[in-house]
Amino acid sequence: MTPATRRLRVMQSVSEIRPTTNPYLIQLLSSVSPEVEVSTFSWWSALRGDFDVLHIHWPEIMLRGANPVKSWLRRLAFASLLLRLRLGRRALVRTMHNLHPHEQGPRTERWLIGLSERWTTLWIRLNDGEHRPGNVPMVTIAHGDYRDWYAGFEVPESCRGTLLYFGLVRTYKGVDQLLSAFADCADQSLTLRIMGKADAGPLRDAIEAAQTEDGRITAQLNHLSDAEVAREVGRAELVVLPYRDMFNSGTLVLALSLGRPVLVPSGEVTSALADEVGADWIIRYSGALTPEVLINALVTIRRQEPGRAPDLSRRTWDRVGAQHVSAYRTAASLMGCGVSEV
């Protein structure tokens, strides 16, 4: 196959697929692979291999090692990779999962991430808005759903009065506010489940203390298997995601994919999502999360018409994959890479 007719070669920033790899990334690789030649990331292949487009998701993950020495080596390798992209006219595509890393790194890391943003060829945002870094081309591609991913797992019936928080347990996700609001709920028939990996620290200590003090609260603070996610989300009457700053959430899309309504702070992103999937599925609140907010959300969802489902038609992977392929081709074209579109 000649260089003018070969398929586009796209390297994803995710490394080898593991049991803990985000299903979003696995589904993305699968959805684009029939149209482009897709590979996972290694430093050797990134610095020495052949590819046309590098697609980065969370650059901070690429820059952080298990210890300070490994972190410095990664930063040096990342700087070399950026130079290779720049000098070799390879396209850099970046998905805007968050406006900023939730956990800020050192100055050198921040500078390298800023440099990668300035040298990005094309941005992919997951929702509409005015989030445009400079004058770089940008396309909107909605976060793909998880319906096919969980099709083979048992999803039990919801249990009345069961509230669930699941996903990574971090301070910026407002888990402490949820614990406080739930503790003040007088209704003893309610239960709260906190499920997801939590690092050692004050937040984990607070969750463990809360479940000791209040028998309605239970927690499992480690990585969840897909079967556990399906079971826990299925049992929930309401999923609560009280993020302090919700720009995007794969956890929210996952809950909707399994047919569970979600309580979230009001904002531009969550309002647009309510318009898209149906207001019955995205229950919004303003201000602080309070016991009244939790109770009112349960009252609201119990009025929902039985049998209805959230509208996730924009988020099928056939559609999302095709949109990514189009974005890769646009980025390659901007860098003057001549490849086939078939």
Which DSSP string corresponds to 135-159? T--EEE-PPP--TTTTTTS--PPP-
Task: State the pLDDT at residue 135.
Answer: 78
Task: State the pLDDT at residue 171.
Answer: 87
Task: State the pLDDT at residue 136.
Answer: 84
Q: In the chain, what are the domains? A: 9-144+316-334 (3.40.50.2000), 162-312 (3.40.50.2000)
Task: State the pLDDT at residue 90.
Answer: 95
The string of DSSP letters for 64-75 reads: --SSHHHHHHHH
Give the pLDDT means over successive 10-residue stretches in the chain (342 positions): 70 88 93 93 95 95 91 96 95 87 80 94 86 80 96 94 94 92 95 93 94 95 94 97 84 95 93 92 94 96 81 96 97 78 47
Question: Which residue stretches of 221-267 are H helix?
Answer: 226-235, 250-257
Task: State the pLDDT at residue 342.
Answer: 42
Task: State the pLDDT at residue 95.
Answer: 94
Question: What type of residue is 308?
Answer: R
First to last CA, the chain: 13
Question: Across the chain, where does the E strand assignment appear?
Answer: 9-12, 37-39, 53-56, 91-96, 122-125, 138-140, 162-166, 191-195, 217-220, 238-240, 262-265, 282-285
Tell me, yes or no, if the pTM score tops 0.85.
Answer: yes
Dist CA 293 CA 320 (whole Å): 34
Q: What tokens does 274 get?
A: 């309510």
Dist CA 38 CA 150 (whole Å): 24
Dist CA 258 CA 306 (whole Å): 15
Residues 305, 281: contact at Cβ < 8 Å? no
Residues 93, 130: contact at Cβ < 8 Å? no
Dist CA 320 CA 325 (whole Å): 9
**What is the arrangement of strands in the sheet containing 262-265, beginning at the earlier edge strand?**
217-220, 191-195, 162-166, 238-240, 262-265, 282-285
Residues 319, 269: contact at Cβ < 8 Å? no
Task: State the pLDDT at residue 2.
Answer: 45
> Angle at the Cα of 220 (from 217 to 224), degrees rounded to 5?
140
